[in-house]
Amino acid sequence: MLKIDETVVPLLKDFEAYTSFLEENHVQLTSKENWIPPKILYELNGKMSIYVTPRPTPRTPQKSYVLLNLMFYLATEGKLFDKVKKKGALYLEPTDRLNAYRTLTPTERYFFLLETFWRDIDWRYLDIDHLYREDPLVKIRFLFYLLFPDEKLKKELRKKARFKEWIPPNDYDINFVIFTLYLFRLFDLLIDENMREELFFFKYYIPIEGIKLSPLGEKILPVMIKERDMFHWNIPWRRLTYGEMNPIPGSPLPYEREGKEEITYTEEPFFLPFVNLFEEGELTKTLPRITERIEFVDGVYIFKVSLLPKKEVWRRIKVSSDHTLSDLAVAIIDAYRFDHEHLYSFFMDGEKWSPYKFTSPDEKEGPHADRIKIGELNLRKRQKILFLYDYSRGWTFEVELESIDKDKPKPDRPKIIEKHGRSPEQYPRWW
């Protein structure tokens, strides 16, 4: 039988030190990213035992502290802390769930944190650089196939997948996820300290030379792969990839449901298939799930669409909550008197080429703009979206939500209600 305590998984000890510090200090978050301020992180880093970020300064941002960044999202996505607004600033305040978490057994606390990581956290937020790399879930599952060879895989792949053998990742894009699995003690790692010195320009990078299954990982990971497939259980990934508003972890993906009778799925407790790995009574409960459902917001939406970079030319467009993002795209293109011969994307976080996007219906990669209604987007007033039209010429527009009116009648089709400035020539001569 397995045993989990702070000795086996030091993350439990460090997470308690982390949450106790936040509880005692009522931390005010940074104004831009809503992270913990660098000076506080610098102090917290010295209190950690499992991993101390090397050579930080009092100005090192949260994303560069691999362990502290993970614990921030474990605390907030696990709803142990809330971001509370006071006098125009955001503070981290403990919830009643923090005390409830502390009443759990070490094993139950471990699986609560593991569930939060596996189910609720967008893994891209754990990237040191926050770069928009290839999907980390895809690469990690391939790594799992190396560790746990499937009979359907090719023979040459199985030859590389021997247990208890060091496997060089050869892919630095996912080191941040591999290191997170190490923090949960599912992997053992070889760290190349010489490489760390060579990469002086990237001093917070974790140079992983090789990985192998840990004793804990040998028992837990096979169950996770079989019973808790990451693509079915990670909510941010399902929302990002398929545009699902309120996916039920563990339920079939949209393409798996096509052509089949609608079935109501009920989520089962994450820890359930792991119970038999432990002594009786060691793993019996967790904290109640707090599901933040995205509700449909009905009404009339007013967007100000400004041509970047100067924003001197703009159009004000009125749409219904029932219109799709594709309808809005057509309205924007028409408002600037462009033709409809090119692809486009809406980047919901305002960052060009970020993964948080909806694409034109003709693109292979989704989620697609014609599959999501404006009222389903959970938009907030003054939120700024980036609209990119014609990838080769790169026409970019800032799409700012100015208002939502729930009382006025909704328009049958998007309407241009105000214009400022002349539309540019879509194909200038210098092209």
Lowest mean pLDDT among 126-130, 175-179, 256-260, 324-328: 126-130
Each residue's pLDDT tens digit, 230-251: 999 999 999 888 888 899 999 9
The pLDDT value recorded for residue 356 is 84
Helix-strand-coil split of the chain, %, nearest 5: 35, 15, 45
Asked if the model's pLDDT at residue 199 lies above 60, the reply is: no
Q: If DSSP codes are grouped into helix, strand and coil, which group holds residue 129?
A: coil
For residues 122-135, give the mean pLDDT: 67
The pLDDT value recorded for residue 205 is 67
> Contacts from 135-143 at CB under 8 Å and sequence distance 24+?
135/237, 135/355, 136/173, 136/174, 136/176, 136/177, 137/230, 137/231, 137/234, 137/237, 139/171, 139/173, 139/174, 139/177, 140/174, 140/177, 140/178, 140/230, 141/230, 141/231, 143/167, 143/169, 143/174, 143/178
> To 10 degrees, the CA torsion angle through 33, 34, 39, 42?
-80
Using only C-alpha atoms, the chain has a radius of gyration, in whole angstroms, of 24
CATH architecture of the domain with residue range 300-420? Roll (3.10)
Return the domain boundaries, the chain: 11-277, 300-420
Asked if the model's pLDDT at residue 329 lies above 50, the reply is: yes
The residue length of the chain stands at 431
Question: Quick one: which of 276, 283, 288, 285 has its CA closest to 4?
Answer: 283
The pLDDT value recorded for residue 53 is 80
**Does residue 2 contact residue 111 with C-beta atoms inside 8 Å?**
no
The pLDDT value recorded for residue 196 is 57
How many other CB atoms sit within 10 Å of the CB of residue 382?
9
Each residue's pLDDT tens digit, 300-317: 999 999 999 999 999 999
Considering the chain, what is the average pLDDT of its residues?
A: 87
- Greatest C-alpha distance within the chain: 76
| Degrees to nearest 5, angle at CA 182 with 180 and 187 | 135
**Cα–Cα distance measured from residue 289 to residue 185, given in angstroms and rounded to the nearest whole number:** 24
The pLDDT value recorded for residue 88 is 85
For residues 362-383, give the mean pLDDT: 91
**Cα–Cα distance measured from residue 87 to residue 300, given in angstroms and rounded to the nearest whole number:** 30
| Omega before 424 within 30 of 0, i.e. cis | no
Q: Tokens 């990982």 label which residue?
A: 217
For residues 36-42, give the mean pLDDT: 96
For the entire predicted model, the pTM comes to: 0.82
Asked if the model's pLDDT at residue 383 lies above 90, the reply is: yes
For residues 163-172, give the mean pLDDT: 46
For residues 181-210, give the mean pLDDT: 73
The pLDDT value recorded for residue 259 is 82
pLDDT band at residue 121 using 50, 70 and 90 as cut-offs: very high
Asked if the model's pLDDT at residue 203 lies above 70, the reply is: no
Each residue's pLDDT tens digit, 89-101: 999 999 999 999 9
